[in-house]
Amino acid sequence: MVYVKFLAAVALLGSIAWTIADPGFESGLTVVGSLSALVSAFLVEKRNARLARQQQTVSKSSIGVQAGGDVNIGNIDGGKHVE
């Protein structure tokens, strides 16, 4: 992800230099596009870090259930199994 941020920053600096050298619609649109790429790189990294913190705990002889958040499943009946 560091490479994407670096390339987006370089693109932003290049597009700003282009806008200074030749002001116009195309160069201004390039600044907006490269700025949005840089901002979205930070937002995607933040979202991925948040999703990576998900954790799941399952007691012995239980089945884990995948959900959208943290999950704790335990055996509340003291080890009695229904057959």
Residue 79 lies in a domain: no
- Find the domain containing 9 and state its range: 2-55
User: What is the predicted pLDDT for the residue at 54?
Assistant: 64
Residues in the chain: 83
Q: What pLDDT, on a 0 to 100 scale, did the predictor assign at position 36?
A: 95
Domain tally, the chain: 1
Assigned domain for 70 exists: no
Tens of pLDDT, residues 18-74? 999 999 999 999 999 999 999 998 888 887 776 666 666 777 777 776 666 666 666
- Pairwise pLDDT comparison (1 vs 31), residue with the higher score: 31
CA angle (79, 70, 82) in 5-degree steps: 20
